[in-house]
Structure 1
Amino acid sequence: MNAKSKRVAVTGAQGKVGKVLVPYLRKCGYDVFVIDEIPPTDPDDLAMIADLTDFGQTLDALSSVGEDTYAHPSSGSFEAVVHLASMPHPRMKPDGEEFRINMMATYNVFESARRLGIKNVIWSASEVATGVPYDKTEAPYVPVDEEYPTRGYNVYSLTKVLGEEMARQFCLNDPEMRITCLRLSNVMDPEEYKKFESWQDDPTKRLWNFWTYIDNRDAAQAIELAIRHDARGKDEFFITSDETVMRTPTAELLANYFPTIEYRKELAGNEVAISNAKAKTVLGFQPKYHWTDEI
């Protein structure tokens, strides 16, 4: 099935990643339906305003067929769901509320997709599920890969750890289901690159995730590749740039701030210490945008 015949729902479409992803998917030929608590900025968007922490609203939103007065609910309405909706970072709300929002929205999307026969879910997981901030936990080796043990250091990262386990269980119980967990690194828009210069003299500002980032446009690329990923079951991929946010060589930074860390391979120059090798090999991901080219 080519992109032009694929109808895709995007939750959290008005968020940072969604605002770049939705036009990117449409440019690729997808028929995109946007779901968010916030009304769409484009009145011509096919959209539904829904609270995804409410199961009924989630089920209804993900069964949307047609538009305006001709719309109706139906199973199998979408070939894929891209689930971006969540609290974007810790402590925006009290911990219990953050846990409720992230976990209920993720469960409701997974379960609604299962009931509606939507077999392809792409979920915006996160690097934080591996113990970020690394300066507060014990980082066992670099480069971090998908075999690296998960650890929920705070409530936000705990919801990512539990979300990945929930994805695994859903796929165990439905062998036809595919849930691709994209562990997006710290997502950056091009206009944010100007602040990278302020970090060069103080690496401690960014050591929490080994100085890693991903350009928002490359995040969109990775999500589109995941939609086309022909597999079954739960899988996870780190989505990172090829280089860190620093000009200082990565090995030098690690030697200064993580002197006892284990190296699984040599890191050249400012090579990223959270590996995107699996995404490159399996999904065909290739970062195209680099902060050093745009400053």
Structure 2
Amino acid sequence: MIIGVTGSGGKLGRATVERLRSDGHEVIGFDTVGHPGPGFTRIDLTDYGQALDAMLGVTARHSGLEALVHLAAIPVNGLVPDAATFHANVAVTFNTLFAAHRAGIRRVVFASSITAMGFPFDEAPPALPVDESYSAANNTYGLGKVVEEAMAAQMARWGEDVSITALRFTNVVAPDEYEIFERASEPDYRRDLIGSWIDARDGAAAVALALAAGRPGFEVYNVAAPTSGTRQASRAAAARWFPGTPVADDLGEFESLMSTRKLQRELGFRAEHDWR
């Protein structure tokens, strides 16, 4: 397919572009920074005109996209004031999804976040591992993701055979960042992430699977490594962090407390990288 990837210069974006190209797709990257070349166009997605123009075609780049991966965003709270985070991210996602709708792109995968399901989990989730049925926003970044998921679910109804998939990514770790797991024995390491993490290359694999398996309608999947980013057993971590919260009887010894069961069951996801 000819696939557009917004946020192609980011950590997950770079891994996604590399993965999709290795799978044989033609990929056009879109981002605010970078040197324009055969596979990249600089774009400001806060400008709907640029978003629409880019989806319809860019001279010397493409004359139409068959699928879209939307990863562009202000990635965390704190880089700009809180309201600016919400305004920018929701507007960019609307511009991108609506432009894709206008351009007739029927297969879209976009990045949601663990922040749409309770991060930093100051309030205990209803059950562990936390699955896609739970939504809770505790900051403006997470609130934006909840809004974007709701918006995408409605927009998926607007065209025949339109598939939009939201991937709730946890903390993405690049291959050269594994030294962060030197703290994995600390009892509260990654508590705000309920112990979860994902290698950027496995995150890109989840994007590729979602694109390949996309079916009409809207779906949400958690994307994390199936095993935790801590050395303590998952049941012990759950008891320490969320005493009294129900835990699945079949929870694996080091299974992620951010459930990836749906991703594994429906899309066949298998992580290829483990910090251990």
AA at the equivalent of 2:52: L
Mapped partners of 1:81, 1:275: distance in 2: 26
Higher relative contact order (CA 8 A, sep 6+): 2
Alignment partner, residue 58 of structure 1? 51
Preserved contact between residue 46 and residue 67 of structure 1 (Cα < 8 Å) = no
Mapped partners of 2:147, 2:76: distance in 1: 16
Preserved contact between residue 143 and residue 265 of structure 1 (Cα < 8 Å) = no
1:168-179 pair list within 5 angstroms = 168-179=153-164
Preserved contact between residue 124 and residue 245 of structure 2 (Cα < 8 Å) = no
1:231 aligns with 2:215: yes
1:262 aligns with 2:262: no
Shift of 1:66: 4.9
Alignment partner, residue 156 of structure 1? 141
Mapped partners of 1:157, 1:198: distance in 2: 26
Tell me the SS of whatever aligns to 1:62. Answer: helix
1:28 aligns with 2:14: no
Mapped partners of 1:173, 1:213: distance in 2: 34
AA at the equivalent of 1:259: P
Mapped partners of 1:57, 1:116: distance in 2: 13
Tell me the SS of whatever aligns to 1:142. Answer: coil
Preserved contact between residue 164 and residue 214 of structure 2 (Cα < 8 Å) = no
Tell me the SS of whatever aligns to 2:244. Answer: coil
Preserved contact between residue 8 and residue 71 of structure 2 (Cα < 8 Å) = yes
Structure 2 unaligned residues grouped into runs of 5+: none
After superposition, the CA RMSD in angstroms is 1.5
Preserved contact between residue 109 and residue 164 of structure 2 (Cα < 8 Å) = yes
Mapped partners of 2:9, 2:249: distance in 1: 39
Identity of aligned residues (%): 34
Q: Per the alignment, do residues 85 and 96 of structure 1 end up closer, same or farther by CA in structure 2, a change over 3 Å counting? A: same
Mapped partners of 1:189, 1:211: distance in 2: 17
- Give 1:94's match in structure 2, choosing from 81, 93, 111: 81
- Give 1:288's match in structure 2, choosing from 266, 269, 272: 272
1:275 aligns with 2:259: yes
Tell me the matched-pair count: 276
1:242-261 pair list within 5 angstroms = 242-261=226-245
AA at the equivalent of 1:102: N
Mapped partners of 2:2, 2:118: distance in 1: 35
TM-score scaled by length of structure 1: 0.90
1:117-266 pair list within 5 angstroms = 117-134=104-121, 136-148=122-134, 150-201=135-186, 203-266=187-250
Tell me the SS of whatever aligns to 2:112. Answer: strand
Mapped partners of 1:175, 1:95: distance in 2: 37
AA at the equivalent of 1:143: P
TM-score scaled by length of structure 2: 0.95
Tell me the SS of whatever aligns to 1:35. Answer: strand
Tell me the SS of whatever aligns to 2:213. Answer: coil
Mapped partners of 1:156, 1:60: distance in 2: 27
Structure 1 unaligned residues grouped into runs of 5+: 1-5
